[in-house]
Amino acid sequence: MNKNIIRNFNPRIKARIRKNKQIIKKEINNFFDWVKGAELVILSECNTTEDPVRPELDNNFRTSYGRKIYGVKYKNEICAVMCFGFTNEIPKTVRELDLMTRDAFLKSAHRDQKIGQIAIAYTIWSKKKGGGKLIVKEVFKMIKQSNHLNRLVTLSPLTKMARNFHLNNGAFEIQVNEETQNFEYEI
């Protein structure tokens, strides 16, 4: 009797497996289509309430004194956001980041307009699966092509999620501070 039940369900199970394979293949193809068509853009502002790391920092902070907001754009939609400050030292707090970016910006105004040698990523978030990893990859390429930036360092919160994200994306830990942790991506 059990053999008959298995025989009756076997074609159904096989059909279900085939259908699931097709669905998975389609989803993977859709994922890679958006990744291939995405581009890195500089944003004049972002919706700071979407920022899970530092929503208290307004757009004025994110865009003044040489700080920039980058986004990964696909079909007129921003899929991931990363905010940077450019410094000559590695900050341990947002307050230090503010002071160091101001210092690097003011020094560059008197020299060559190249602000700081270290890109400090202080917040990142993704609205689409794979966006976080993609923006790290795209920013990494941009910094590598730059002729004045020689380091990509994070100012990350003290969370396991931030730690795992950066370590899984190829960064190594520099230091753990009272309120933050710093990771560096080798250029």
**Structure tokens that stand for 128 in this block:** 């689409």
Residue 133 pLDDT grade (very low, low, confident, very high; cuts 50, 70, 90)? confident
pLDDT in tens, 141-179: 888 888 778 889 999 999 999 999 899 988 999 999 999
Residue with tokens 């830990």: 173
What's the pLDDT at 15? Answer: 67
**Structure tokens that stand for 36 in this block:** 């291939």
**Structure tokens that stand for 85 in this block:** 């400050």
Query: Across-strand partners of 180?
Result: 157
Query: Cα separations (Å) of 56 from 11, 85, 99, 123, 140?
Result: 57, 16, 17, 11, 26
Q: What is the mean pLDDT of residues 87-110?
A: 90
* Distance from C-alpha of 120 to C-alpha of 139, rounded to nearest angstrom: 11
E strand map for 44-179: 68-74, 77-87, 118-126, 151-154, 156-157, 172-176
pLDDT in tens, 10-60: 666 666 666 666 666 555 555 555 556 778 899 999 999 999 999 999 999
Residues sharing a CB contact under 8 Å with residue 77, sequence separation 6 or more, in sequence order: 127, 128
Q: Give the homologous superfamily in CATH for domain 39-185.
A: Malonyl-CoA decarboxylase, catalytic domain (3.40.630.150)
What's the pLDDT at 34? Answer: 52
Nearest to 154 by CA among 128, 124, 127, 114: 124
Task: Compute the mean pLDDT over every residue in the chain, rounded to the nearest whole number.
Answer: 83
